[in-house]
A = this chain, B = another copy of it.
């Protein structure tokens, strides 16, 4: 019966019924006009969610990791310099991928829990007077630590350094749930997947390329075929794919885009903020604190919660699953055992969030942590009531 409870892993998210049905399609001929009627609106919807009228969107049967590989292999050549920070498991993995592809990565170490050090980036970029750094990598939302970095500020840092490096952003756990402005922030490649803000099953890498990024494709020397956006672009031009497209997931993407835009992106972001803030109030009521070290870093899609020193946070995740059939996220990498994570992205309601908080309380009490039952729930309830009224007042 475990699938009855909502899931609180930071993706894949709970899938709305309408999206499960959109994905569950009988076979159609993907070379017929039926396919174009799915593909083109799906791409158009992504463009709107990315706020990227100037970008080209590419969707691969893959995952966010494949999206990263699409980004680097279509733009870069072996030995190219890349600047990145490592402040969590996902930024770490992207750096690792770059190195395995022969890129020369300058890594700025950062505390796990902190965001992208834009000042330091500005210094490095300013010092790079011959513009050898080709790309700056940024993880908008570190899923491992629940830290949202400020991409707008990063763009300002590049501008202040008058550096022409392209800006690549991993928005896997932010796009569709938190504000992302590809054009306004002049992001050159944005990467996400189907299973987070788009509320779909995993299986799609979704990548946006700016005109500047597109312009590098012919000179990029990293080998690629599956992830080559040139083949993909040619395919799209005739309503097709260079290989067999994942039709059902694309149909789901089309409907997910429609759903997000019908709700209104600002409403979607407010909803995520409201649910997240309730979770944070609960964390405070429990006497715990987040992995994210400052409020301006708090993520609205995932909260990584520090447990008391000496306590193994993995026990919380294991006991929640075994004792109550609820899935939370474990800590990864440097914060393994030190945090557990509550995902609150995608399709979620305050009511569902409260059941996760209530479960976390029982689990922590069972394991002897000094958490008073109902305390976090009450703090969240109080916030949800107030914020809700405020929202409704605005709507009235």
Give A contacts to B, CB under 8 Å: 1-7, 9, 11-17, 20-21, 23-32, 34, 61-66, 68-69, 78, 96-97, 100-102, 193, 195, 201-203, 222-228, 242-249, 321, 323-327, 329-330, 347-352, 354-355, 358-359, 361-362, 365-366, 372-375, 377-378, 381-382, 384-385, 388
A94: nearest chain-B partner, CB-CB: B225
Assess the A62–B65 pair: CB atoms within 8 A: no
Distance in Å from the Cβ of A21 to the closest Cβ of chain B? 5
Provide the residues of chain B in CB contact with A28, threshold 8 Å: 2-3, 7, 327
Task: Knowing A202-B247, A246-B202, say if A4 contacts B347 (CB, 8 Å).
Answer: yes
Provide the residues of chain B in CB contact with A347, threshold 8 Å: 1, 4
| Contact among B21, B195, B374 with A378 in the assembled complex (CB-CB below 8 Å) | B374
Task: Knowing A327-B29, A374-B377, A377-B374, say if A354 contacts B352 (CB, 8 Å).
Answer: no
Assess the B349–A377 pair: CB atoms within 8 A: no
Give me 28 A-to-B residue pairs in the complex whose CB atoms sit less than 8 angstroms apart, sorted by A's number.
A1-B347, A5-B352, A7-B27, A7-B28, A7-B29, A17-B25, A21-B21, A32-B327, A61-B202, A61-B203, A62-B66, A62-B226, A65-B226, A100-B225, A100-B228, A193-B244, A195-B244, A323-B388, A324-B349, A325-B349, A351-B358, A354-B355, A358-B377, A362-B384, A365-B385, A374-B374, A374-B381, A377-B378
How far is B375's CA from A213's CA once the two chains are assembled, in angstroms?
Answer: 56
How far is B230's CA from A88's CA once the two chains are assembled, in angstroms?
Answer: 22
Q: How many copies does the complex hold?
A: 4
Provide the residues of chain B in CB contact with A25, threshold 8 Å: 3, 17, 201
A320: nearest chain-B partner, CB-CB: B351
How far is B242's CA from A378's CA once the two chains are assembled, in angstroms?
Answer: 38
Assess the A65–B242 pair: CB atoms within 8 A: yes
Tell me which of A11, A203, A327 has the highest count of chain B C-beta atoms within 10 A of its own C-beta.
Answer: A203
Distance in Å from the Cβ of A62 to the closest Cβ of chain B? 6
Assess the B4–A27 pair: CB atoms within 8 A: no
Assess the A381–B373 pair: CB atoms within 8 A: yes
Tell me which of A14, A24, A225 has the highest count of chain B C-beta atoms within 10 A of its own C-beta.
Answer: A225
